[in-house]
Amino acid sequence: MSDDDAVEVKPAPSAKPAMSRFLRTAGPDSASSSETETESESDDDEDEQELPKKAGSRFLKGDSDEDESDEDVKRIVKSARDKRLEEMEATGKTMDNALKINDWTAIQNEFDKLTRMVQRQQNMSEPVPSFFIRTLASLEASVNDALIREKESKKKMNALNARALTAMKQKVKKMTKEYEQDIRSFQQDPEAFEREYAVAVAPEVVAPSRQKKSSAKLADEDEDDEDEFTTVGKGGKGVQYTPEGIFKHLQQIQEARGKKNTDRADQIRTLEKLLAVAITPYQRIRVLLALISSRFDYNASLSSFMPPELWSAAQRETDQLIEILALDAAYAVEELTEDYDELIERTPEDEKTGIVRIRGSIISFIDRLDDEFTRSLQNIDPHGTEYVERLKDEKGLYCTICRAQALCELRKQVDPLARVIMRRIEHIYSKPDAVLNVLEMAATAFDFKPSVTLQSASSSAVLMHTLCVHLYQSGNILLRTRAMLSHIYHHALHNDFYTARDMLLMSHLQETIHSADVATQIVYNRAVVQLGLCAFRCGLIKEAQSTLHDIFATQRVKELLAQGVHQQKFYTLTPEQEKAEKQRQLPFHMHINTELLEAAFLVSSMLVEIPVLASMDSEEQKRKAISKPFRRLLDFADRQVFTGPPESTRDHIMQASKALQSGQWEQCRDLIQDIKIWSLMPEAASVKDMLAKRIQEEGLRTYLFTFSPHYRSLSLSLLSSTFSLPPRSVSSIVSRMIWNEELSASLDQSSGVVVFHRVDLSRSQQLAQTLADRINVMVEANEKVLDVRLGGGASWGDRAEGGKGDKRGEQAQERRGGRGERRGAGTRGARAARGARFAQGLGSQMARTR
């Protein structure tokens, strides 16, 4: 029984011997020495420094160890302890030597080493060796001596040495403060202190030896599939992994968590072992919870990502955890629970409610898993095979998310359910149906699945709809917004332009999105861009142009879509900003191809802008551009002296624009269809056909605008043959232009010609028009200023409503005569109220000045 007692009492110190033991045996063995390397690599720097050194020193005296036999257990354990002491003493000796030659740099190094060792010792909750206290005391004296000597002596120490000395002074001071009590007792009676220490250490020497004996027995019983290293490692403490001891280990690990010198890899290994011996569901849940969190803890730095192996292990374990919870309804993992004793085994029978509630959060594991996955994708080169390999893990992740969703549904946890559904949506909203099918197939292959699946929903749209509707009904505004945007994106991806547009407009997101967080803004930008692409695919050129224009006008497309960090000219980002920016980047597989996007935007701009450009007759009007980015490119292309054959997408579009301007629609069509990037667009062929048709129509319009001054009349049949359009569509286009007052002409049906009526504006008419435009602009600017002045960002709609608007309208009528009447007379919409308010504002100002 005393054996067991010893085991129970001394688990912590035993961790240390195990470590050094492992190293010692690892030394001679070449196979496991490679293991050492991998281990030490991932360890803290501190360990890295120390491990080789220890191994080395072991080596020096280790020749004799090699022929140590296993039965000589006692001696080994002792030597493990002694070894450390010996090492410390060796360091002390070196320090003494250095002291003699006044080499403070060396002393500093050695002292650092020593303190580290002692720190370790303390972590193992072993008493501080008396040797250390002794050294510290003597060191303090010699440092003081040296300082005094330094002051007196004429000759200066060299700079390095002097710096080391001052550093030492500080360190010693700090240390003395830490061990103040020990030092005092040592100084009072060195003998007694030594004795005390010896007493404190004595029982331990016995304990490990007993452990060893029993562990050897256990190691024999163990299966032989584990290599030497694990066996030995286990041999040091294998006996401790009993179901009863689990909670104690867990607590120790929990306490060590986050501390500086804890070996995370070791913890994970311990927990893995614990999992293997855990029997009851309660134990397993507890161990799994601890294990998963410690896996996530494994690398602390924010910039790097979790190693894939660790990640998949964590994912597997999360699966396990969910499985356990799903199978046994008597256990629940909740974020808020009543306090319970962590060291006691709990069973459903003991609980009042019949359910064992355990503190923890599955949803945070899912969040973390997903985040880590994204981060790893951000960090892996997207053009390598590694990325593809990593991407394959998404299937597993998706399954885990689905299962978590099912669990949340089962347990009716509202908030986590919403979050997990959001995660699920994020994984599927930008995926084409084929990929979604694969994901869903994998997810539904298990019998434990969420209520909504692709099979039950029959199509991806319905699936998205059901998932999103759930979030719309949830209270979380952020999630609701994101779900809405993802839903819009999904609609747009499936060419359902009108639904997507209506959803976007009805959500009124564009008014509030500026105050949203960056991630939501990114999702918003993505949704808008996808909507634009969708309009383009559907042949709604104008819509595509206006939708995409906003984002292209900023010239920071990549940044806004989180697909690259923008290089600013006048302004460099701080490292923190850059880091934050990097973390926001989307993984490559979710990118929207910006070149394709640009091609779509420029082509739609071309189709909108070129006819408008042709219809303008004064230079002044020409300055107003619908699409500034396009106009800039066009101007640039115009200035080019020599144009070679087109290479880039832009070249293609610019040359096509020129061809369109001169009425050569065939050339234009060929140039546009030659653009290679179209191949990335789904339904490329139909898009190309659509573009050809648009080019014919817009070509006709441009031709009419450009060349109509040179004709008195034009026959429709000629137009139809020139642009190879059916006569019907030619006449419909011409009629539309006449109706829209773009073309002053009339159709002569009987002879099938367009007759042009020339109207030339006189100079004063032109001027009057310009004046009217100018004044309009000023009035609008004035209104804006007035709005700001009058306070409140209330929109026009708000102001137009209510009795005030009516009153204003009347006032306006009185003041402004004809104009006011005309405006006020109609249905009093926002426009009338707007004019009226302006009039009132001006009037009151006038009154004030008088």
- Residues that bind other proteins in the complex, under the rule CB under 8 A: 763-764, 767-768, 770-771, 774-775, 778, 849
In whole angstroms, the minimum distance from the beta carbon of 849 to other proteins comes to: 5
One-letter amino acid of 601: F
In whole angstroms, the minimum distance from the beta carbon of 816 to other proteins comes to: 15
In whole angstroms, the minimum distance from the beta carbon of 850 to other proteins comes to: 9
Q: Which is nearer to other proteins, 2 or 849 (CB)?
A: 849
Q: Phi and psi for 754 in degrees, rounded to 5?
A: -100, 125
Q: 28 burial class (0-12, 13-18, 19+ CB within 10 angstroms)?
A: middle
Q: What is d(CA 796, CA 786) in angstroms, rounded to the nearest whole number?
A: 12
In whole angstroms, the minimum distance from the beta carbon of 85 to other proteins comes to: 46
Residue ranges with strand state E in 235-348: 331-334
Q: Which is nearer to other proteins, 572 or 770 (CB)?
A: 770
Q: Which is nearer to other proteins, 385 or 764 (CB)?
A: 764
Q: What is the DSSP string of 600-621?
A: HHHHHHHHHHHHHHHH--SHHH
Q: Which is nearer to other proteins, 352 or 789 (CB)?
A: 789
In whole angstroms, the minimum distance from the beta carbon of 783 to other proteins comes to: 15
Q: Which is nearer to other proteins, 216 or 779 (CB)?
A: 779
CB within 8 A of 815, min separation 6: which ones?
839, 843
In whole angstroms, the minimum distance from the beta carbon of 780 to other proteins comes to: 13
Residue with tokens 């892996």: 380
Q: Which is nearer to other proteins, 778 or 825 (CB)?
A: 778
Residue 728 CB coordination number (10 Å): 10
In whole angstroms, the minimum distance from the beta carbon of 613 to other proteins comes to: 24
369: closest CA among 335, 393, 405, 334? 393
400 within 8 A of 449, measured Cβ to Cβ: no
Q: Which is nearer to other proteins, 506 or 847 (CB)?
A: 847
561 within 8 A of 526, measured Cβ to Cβ: yes
Q: Which is nearer to other proteins, 505 or 775 (CB)?
A: 775
One-letter amino acid of 716: L
Q: Which is nearer to other proteins, 145 or 620 (CB)?
A: 620
Residue with tokens 């290599």: 227
In whole angstroms, the minimum distance from the beta carbon of 631 to other proteins comes to: 22
CB within 8 A of 12, min separation 6: which ones?
124, 125, 252
The residues facing 121 across adjacent strands are none
Q: What is d(CA 716, CA 727) in angstroms, rounded to the nearest whole number?
A: 7
Put residue 555 in one of left, alpha, beta given phi > 0 → left and psi -120 to 50 → alpha. left
The residues facing 359 across adjacent strands are 334
Q: Which is nearer to other proteins, 343 or 777 (CB)?
A: 777
In whole angstroms, the minimum distance from the beta carbon of 784 to other proteins comes to: 12
17 within 8 A of 208, measured Cβ to Cβ: yes
Q: Which is nearer to other proteins, 379 or 766 (CB)?
A: 766
Q: What is the largest CA-CA distance in the chain?
A: 128
Q: What is the DSSP string of 671-737?
A: HHHT-GGGGGSTTHHHHHHHHHHHHHHHHHHHHHHHHGGG-SEEEHHHHHHHTT--HHHHHHHHHHH
Q: Which is nearer to other proteins, 639 or 763 (CB)?
A: 763
Q: Which is nearer to other proteins, 505 or 761 (CB)?
A: 761
What is residue 357's three-state secondary structure?
Answer: strand
588: closest CA among 369, 811, 282, 377? 377
**Burial state string for 345-374 with b = 16 or more CB within 10 A and e = fewer than 16:** ebeeeeeeeeebbbebbbbebbbbbbebbb
Q: Which is nearer to other proteins, 478 or 775 (CB)?
A: 775
Radius of gyration of the chain (CA): 40
Q: What is d(CA 50, CA 35) in angstroms, rounded to the nearest whole number?
A: 16
In whole angstroms, the minimum distance from the beta carbon of 781 to other proteins comes to: 8
Half-sphere CA count of 375, side-chain side, radius 13 A? 20
Q: What is d(CA 634, CA 646) in angstroms, rounded to the nearest whole number?
A: 14
Q: Which is nearer to other proteins, 173 or 774 (CB)?
A: 774
In whole angstroms, the minimum distance from the beta carbon of 768 to other proteins comes to: 6
CB within 8 A of 358, min separation 6: which ones?
282, 285, 286, 289, 331, 332, 333, 334, 337
Q: Which is nearer to other proteins, 329 or 772 (CB)?
A: 772
What is residue 107's three-state secondary structure?
Answer: helix
In whole angstroms, the minimum distance from the beta carbon of 771 to other proteins comes to: 6
The residues facing 332 across adjacent strands are 357
Q: What is d(CA 418, CA 367) in angstroms, rounded to the nearest whole number?
A: 12
In whole angstroms, the minimum distance from the beta carbon of 423 to other proteins comes to: 40
One-letter amino acid of 447: D
Residue with tokens 């998963």: 292
In whole angstroms, the minimum distance from the beta carbon of 761 to other proteins comes to: 12
In whole angstroms, the minimum distance from the beta carbon of 819 to other proteins comes to: 14
What is the bridge-based pairing of β-strands 713-715 and 745-748?
unpaired
Residue 515 token pair? 């105050």
Q: Phi and psi for 67 in degrees, rounded to 5?
A: -95, 15
Residue 478 token pair? 């952020």
In whole angstroms, the minimum distance from the beta carbon of 839 to other proteins comes to: 17
In whole angstroms, the minimum distance from the beta carbon of 550 to other proteins comes to: 24
Q: Which is nearer to other proteins, 350 or 620 (CB)?
A: 620
In whole angstroms, the minimum distance from the beta carbon of 778 to other proteins comes to: 7
Q: Quickly count helices (H) and strands (E) in the chain.
A: 41, 5
Q: What is d(CA 269, CA 43) in angstroms, rounded to the nearest whole number?
A: 14
Q: Which is nearer to other proteins, 553 or 781 (CB)?
A: 781
